[in-house]
Structure 1
């Protein structure tokens, strides 16, 4: 069994700080909005108040996200940083932006909140096929790939060696109607194979098979989403 005794992921910054981080990275421009749009949404959401104490959404585990229809995973991935190295998408995933929300109702707004974010370390060494029904039973929703990238942009400590995560809320529907058996994940490159040695320790957007298990990958999820 894998060692799941990782350091606890520290709380997310306040929503207003998250907005400033996205502005610093230029995400607002990628999404076709202004810095003031981001600041206003974050301020209004913060003013609306946090979840009641003791609830699943209490604490700083709420993530500010841009709708995937406004900014794609391929545009967000290079903004990731670790050890001075930029994030990247694996070369055998040129269709990364075709992975879309599956079985998830997103708010119809350019910006929204993802509540109760969790890395899912307890499910390390589970397959996506095993994890999805378990998350559903727990009334949790798997993160989208873009949400996972947003999380690491805001909280780099969410990604650590031997404790990375899958984002199985994003799936690819093939032309014949069947779901592609690849499932997206975010982890840290070893600099081997086609990644290249220069990318060792860089954040990596890749994929795993629907039925395979990996000891270093949990399943990131949330309690919900709201505008």
Structure 2
């Protein structure tokens, strides 16, 4: 899983306006598999635009409607579709943990950040630090939404973990795997044909990686006006 030591952090462009984000989701067909009407997404975005905190916000579909397994193949890089690693067939069982998620089909994720300053931290170290900063870790589905709207957010050697999603085992303990988004090197079971493709994978809860930050947001809101 290792990659080269990261270079200086990149300043990302502003997220598209919420109306443009809505059209992007519709273009990709997200409304179709999430049980939403295209006009429902458009209306939510139109009502939310201009409200306090909507500038720089990410439009997200609730993971219960748009799971990671359906969203990941919509990612594109160098013309190659995104994919979930073969040893994560249970990707959709990674659900929100210690995250307050709006009870709504659509919501806003405000001020997403890649967490480059936490590169080479472990998830166990990053979570309390994010809490101290007043930030909330992104869910895996939110991370995918972010890259769908802003492909520049996934940069080689500047990728990120989404530790707001965890898998609780039958005995009540947490699975040690934690989801992440990065760029495939086309090695191992990925296959050479997937080199440079966006990749949903996992890392261990107590391990560090110099090329993985910890994506987070200021908050989430389902307000539509």
Structure 1 residue matching 2:124: 3-state secondary structure: helix
Shift of 1:105: 1.1
**Match among 194, 204, 219 for residue 199 of structure 1:** 194
Corresponding residue number in structure 2 for 1:216 = 211
Residue 113 of structure 2 aligns with which residue?
118
1:70-107 deviations in Å (ceiling 9; x for gaps): 11100000000000000000000000000000011111
The normalised TM-score by structure 1 is 0.94
Query: Is contact 2:6–2:158 with CA below 8 Å preserved after alignment?
Result: no
Indicate which of 30, 34, 39 corresponds to 1:36.
Answer: 39
1:103 aligns with 2:129: no
Match in the other structure for 1:10: 13
1:72 to 67, 76, 100: 67
Q: Report the Cα distance in structure 2 between the residues aligned to 1:137 and 1:2, rounded to whole angstroms.
A: 27
What do you get for the CA RMSD once the two structures are aligned?
A: 1.2
Answer yes or no: is the 8 Å Cα contact 1:4–1:121 preserved in 2. no
User: C-alpha distance in 1, partners of 2:99/2:214?
Assistant: 15
SS in 2 for 1:206: strand
Contact kept? 1:2, 1:125, Cα under 8 Å: no
Give the CA deviation at 1:109.
0.3
Matching residue within 34, 49, 52 for 1:50: 52
Give the match for residue 83 of structure 2.
88
> Hey, what's the Cα distance between the residues in 2 that align with 1:181 and 1:30?
30
**In the TM superposition, what whole-angstrom CA distance separates every residue of 1:201-220 from its partner, at most 9, and x where no partner exists?**
00000000000000110000
- Gaps of at least 5 residues in structure 2 are none
5 Å matches for 1:142-157?
142-157=137-152
Counterpart of 1:165?
160
Paired residue total: 219
Distance 1:120 1:4, change over 3 A: farther
Structure 1 stretches of 4+ with a deviation exceeding 2 A read 1-4
For 1:118 and 1:7, how far apart are their aligned partners in 2? 12
Runs of 5+ consecutive residues of structure 1 not aligned to the other structure: 52-56
Instruction: State whether residues 135 and 217 of structure 2, in contact with CA within 8 Å, keep that contact through their aligned partners in structure 1.
Output: yes
The offset of 1:2, in angstroms, is 4.1
Pairing 1:129-140 to 2, within 5 Å after superposition: 129-140=124-135
TM (norm. structure 2) is: 0.95
> Pick from 116, 124, 127: which aligns with 2:122?
127
C-alpha contact 1:120 1:221 (8 A) present in aligned 2:
yes
